[in-house]
């Protein structure tokens, strides 16, 4: 199967690092123009420079803080002013801090809800009319396998991920008739900065070494290893393709078999 995204523009939120960056590289390699969004401008510039420019396609970036509705609204306004159709939207950001739900502060839920759900709603609503006019849209949400089974020690994340799953399914139901698909990619443990910080936090809390925690986590994965960000990105690129046009409203775990149910 040859995937071509020539003529398509993708907005990749959280695109300057980790799974978002790998997805951006995958989409650009398939010929898409890519716009990255995140908070740190230096990292964004560096990430844009690392994107392949197939047949001279130019890429760009937007500084946007998904924790801040005002920042999201002003980035959206700037996007609308440019009158550029976004055909592919990747909703993605850093995950909420870990910890058991018994110790979670109420404010952590507000913050995670803003970052991972309210901002996604604002951005998706803004790009939806353009997708509808184009008769083509791909909305891909990077969530977590906790959509299917809550993960130990991630109380706030488990809660918000469940909401994001139903949010996406509702968007899928309402937009399929316009040639728009909405799907969720659920990464398992993936070798990114996020994973490093989770392992370090677990080590600090348990008194074990980083190596011990790493081995314990790998043992939970039937594949016996963590994912590479590029492996998660491959699912994103496929879902963004013309070929995936009849797949909507689903979750795709990319987790080496770790999720204990189908």
Ligand X SMILES: NC(=O)c1ccc[n+]([C@@H]2O[C@H](COP(=O)([O-])OP(=O)(O)OC[C@H]3O[C@@H](n4cnc5c(N)ncnc54)[C@H](OP(=O)(O)O)[C@@H]3O)[C@@H](O)[C@H]2O)c1
Q: Which is nearer to ligand X, 187 or 256 (CB)?
A: 187
Q: Which is nearer to ligand X, 43 or 132 (CB)?
A: 43
C-alpha 58/C-alpha 30 separation (Å) is 13
Counting Cβ atoms within 10 Å, is residue 89 exposed (0-12), middle (13-18) or buried (19+)? buried
Q: Which is nearer to ligand X, 136 or 183 (CB)?
A: 183
CB 147 → ligand X: shortest distance, Å?
A: 10
Residue-level length of the chain: 262
Q: Give the β-pairing of 33-38 and 60-63.
A: parallel
Edge-to-edge strands of the sheet including 251-254? 60-63, 33-38, 9-13, 88-91, 137-142, 180-187, 251-254
Q: Which is nearer to ligand X, 5 or 142 (CB)?
A: 142
Q: Which is nearer to ligand X, 160 or 180 (CB)?
A: 160
Q: Which is nearer to ligand X, 127 or 195 (CB)?
A: 195
CB 132 → ligand X: shortest distance, Å?
A: 26
CB 90 → ligand X: shortest distance, Å?
A: 10
What residues contact 166, with CB distance under 8 A and at least 6 apart?
Answer: none
- What sections of the chain are H helices per DSSP? 18-29, 41-49, 69-81, 106-113, 119-134, 155-175, 193-206, 210-219, 229-240
CB 95 → ligand X: shortest distance, Å?
A: 2
Q: How many CA atoms lie within 13 A of 179 on its CB side?
A: 14
CB 97 → ligand X: shortest distance, Å?
A: 10
What residues contact 192, with CB distance under 8 A and at least 6 apart?
Answer: 17, 18, 19, 229
Interface residues toward ligand X, by CB under 6 A: 14-20, 38-40, 43, 64-67, 92-95, 115, 142, 144, 187, 189-190, 192-195
C-alpha 140/C-alpha 30 separation (Å) is 16
Q: Which is nearer to ligand X, 57 or 140 (CB)?
A: 140
CB 163 → ligand X: shortest distance, Å?
A: 13
C-alpha 7/C-alpha 74 separation (Å) is 26
CB 98 → ligand X: shortest distance, Å?
A: 10
C-alpha 182/C-alpha 199 separation (Å) is 31
């Amino acid at each position: 199967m040859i995937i071509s995204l020539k003529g398509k523009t993708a907005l990749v939120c959280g695109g300057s690092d980790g799974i978002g960056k790998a997805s951006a590289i995958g989409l650009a390699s398939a010929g898409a123009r890519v716009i990255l969004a995140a908070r740190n401008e230096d990292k964004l510039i560096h990430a844009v420079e690392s994107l392949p420019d197939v047949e001279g396609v130019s890429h760009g970036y937007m500084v946007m803080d998904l924790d801040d509705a005002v920042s999201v609204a002003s980035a959206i306004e700037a996007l609308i002013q440019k009158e550029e159709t976004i055909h592919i939207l990747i909703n993605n950001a850093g995950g909420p801090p870990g910890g058991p739900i018994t110790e979670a502060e109420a404010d952590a839920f507000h913050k995670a809800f803003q970052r991972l759900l309210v901002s996604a709603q604002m951005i998706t609503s803004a790009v939806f009319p353009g997708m509808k006019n184009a008769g083509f849209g791909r909305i891909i949400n990077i969530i977590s396998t906790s959509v299917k089974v809550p993960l130990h020690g991630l109380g706030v994340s488990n809660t918000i991920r469940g909401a994001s799953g139903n949010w996406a399914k509702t968007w899928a139901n309402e937009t399929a008739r316009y040639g728009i698909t909405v799907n969720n990619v659920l990464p398992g443990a993936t070798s990114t900065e996020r994973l490093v910080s989770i392992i370090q936090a677990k080590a600090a809390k348990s008194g074990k070494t980083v190596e011990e925690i790493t081995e314990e986590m790998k043992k939970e994965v039937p594949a016996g290893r963590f994912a590479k960000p590029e492996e998660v990105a491959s699912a994103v690129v496929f879902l963004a393709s013309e070929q995936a046009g009849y797949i909507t409203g689903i979750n795709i775990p990319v987790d080496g078999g770790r999720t204990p149910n189908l």
